[in-house]
Amino acid sequence: MKIETKCIHEGYKAENGEPMAMPIYQSTTYKYDSTEHVGDLFDLAVPGHIYSRISNPTVGFVEEKIAALEGGVGALCTSSGQSASLIAIMNILEAGDSFICASTIYGGTINLFAVTLKKFGIECIFVDADASEDEIQKSFKDNTKAVFGETLANPSLEVLDIEKFARIAHKNEVPLIIDNTFATPILCRPIEFGADIVIHSTTKYMDGQAVQVGGVIVDSGKFDWTNGKFPEFTEPDESYHGLVYTEAFKEAAYITKARVQLIRDLGAYPSAQDAFLTNIGLETLAVRMERHCRNAEKIAEFLESSDLVESVNYPWLESHPQKELQEKYLPKGSSGVISFVIKGGKENAAKFMDSLELAINAVHVACSRTLVLHPATATHRQLNDEQLKAAGISPGLVRLSVGIENVDDIIEDLKRGLKAI
């Protein structure tokens, strides 16, 4: 099946006479015929559901679908994108370990990695994604166990050279984890470029209607956990009678361990209802991404042609410094997110924002409605102009998440905003 077909047909498959749409299994608990079967389940000797904090049939169908879309051997849904990042790292590292991370990543992930993980004794070493391989190599330590980056960074929209990062990670015998939230598997499948683990905030394009917060971790099944650096995978787990993950689950060792150890203990598993909503979003993901890209391309060109706009940041544009990386990693388009700088700073940006009628002022991105955010008066409002500059945020910067409305209506609205200046 091609990816557009997989969006609809992977995951839940109805048998003769069964409901065609994916059912919501709203049950915390499962019934068994024998104590022997329950014993086998607890020994992880047979597959099956034990309790909906660890797995659930509805969530399981969504996991199968997303694994198929990314080309992985398995997936694990989580209650948010943040818990997907947390569990993806914690499944590999422990106190005393470090990992390398591209500095251009989502602000929430920076807080998690630089502040909260530090309290757990895990060090995040940030590197410039544009640095040479030799330069990045210098940041590796003996205790470095993973490399992390975003395909298309939120909000800087920098395109990551995934193959370069995969080469560096694999030379050091550690896995590459890629946050593929903005690109989605429709625009880029990082596993095809060497990523070992892919994560998403399903809250964004996968959901698309802004109705649920969720995340997912996908395992490529390709990383060799038996290379001596990852004893947690190759030595007996006391909490499962001495089970060894790489022996019992082979290429699915990583994703199985994340579920039966960390999701069991931390409990960040989504509800069946939320998985149902995610699945509805996934069914239309390919169609929506195509429209988001085509709309954003026209809008980026429109903004670039305006005298009132200082600069436009959208990797698809010919003028973008990363055009080559965009063509390699995002040949079908670079999503619906654009950022641009309005001449005249904060004051003009505010005038523009307040005159929009269609675009919604919201702290969200990547959904079917067109959304705008002015970082200088919202997420970064405590900073003065000097501090904004230091943070790389121009006072006139507007983040625009182009929706799937008719593009002429969106351009009409943007014209209204620019006219107010």
Ligand X SMILES: *Cc1c(COP(=O)(O)O)cnc(C)c1O
Binding residues for ligand X (CB under 6 A): 80-82, 106, 108-109, 150, 154, 179, 181-182, 201, 203-204, 213, 215
* Minimum CB distance to ligand X smaller for 44 or for 210: 210
Encoded tokens for 267: 């409990």
* Minimum CB distance to ligand X smaller for 195 or for 418: 195
* Minimum CB distance to ligand X smaller for 150 or for 196: 150
* Minimum CB distance to ligand X smaller for 150 or for 413: 150
Burial state string for 76-106 with b = 16 or more CB within 10 A and e = fewer than 16: bbbbbbbbbbbbbbbbbbeeebbbbbbbbbb
Minimum distance, C-beta of residue 46 to ligand X, in the bound complex (Å): 33
Minimum distance, C-beta of residue 1 to ligand X, in the bound complex (Å): 27
Amino acid at 70: E
HSE-CB for 228 with a 13 A CA cutoff:
3
- Cα dihedral value 167, 168, 172, 175, nearest 10: -70
* Minimum CB distance to ligand X smaller for 201 or for 256: 201
Minimum distance, C-beta of residue 108 to ligand X, in the bound complex (Å): 5
Amino acid at 115: V
* Element housing 280 (H / E): helix 272-283
Minimum distance, C-beta of residue 155 to ligand X, in the bound complex (Å): 8
Give the three-state DSSP class for 146: strand
Give the span between the Cα atoms of 116 and 370, in whole angstroms: 33
Q: Are 151 and 180 in contact (CB under 8 A)?
A: yes
* Minimum CB distance to ligand X smaller for 182 or for 276: 182
Strands (E), 13-91: 74-78
Minimum distance, C-beta of residue 200 to ligand X, in the bound complex (Å): 8
Minimum distance, C-beta of residue 104 to ligand X, in the bound complex (Å): 11
Q: Are 243 and 234 in contact (CB under 8 A)?
A: no
Query: Which residue of the chain is nearest ligand X when measured via CB?
Result: 81
* Minimum CB distance to ligand X smaller for 289 or for 342: 289
Give the span between the Cα atoms of 248 and 221, in whole angstroms: 14
Minimum distance, C-beta of residue 408 to ligand X, in the bound complex (Å): 28
Encoded tokens for 191: 């596993």
Q: What is the arrangement of strands in the sheet containing 337-342, beginning at the earlier edge strand?
A: 309-313, 337-342, 397-401, 371-373, 360-361
Task: Note the helical H segments in 316-355.
Answer: 323-329, 345-354
Minimum distance, C-beta of residue 249 to ligand X, in the bound complex (Å): 27
* Minimum CB distance to ligand X smaller for 72 or for 395: 72
**Cβ of 156: how many Cβ atoms within 10 Å?**
16
